[in-house]
Amino acid sequence: MRTKGTTLLLAGLAAYAYYKFSKMSREDRDKMVGNLKEKGKKWMNQMRHSDGTTKSVHS
């Protein structure tokens, strides 16, 4: 039953995040999405250039 509780918790967190996102102003949403994209690109560049090879995210 632990999986059922974990699933319910994650569903609740997702619903709360959706609620908060829907209440944000358009400018705040654009700023947040842009920030996430920037962090993702920075992280991918670090992974690509850390030792000269592309690393797998799953290893």
5-39: pLDDT as tens digits: 899 999 999 999 999 999 999 999 999 999 999 99
pLDDT of residue 10: 96
Rounded Cα distance, 4 and 16, in Å: 18
Rounded Cα distance, 24 and 17, in Å: 11
Q: Which two tokens stand for residue 5?
A: 């509780």
pTM: 0.54
Domain parsing of the chain, residue ranges: 24-54
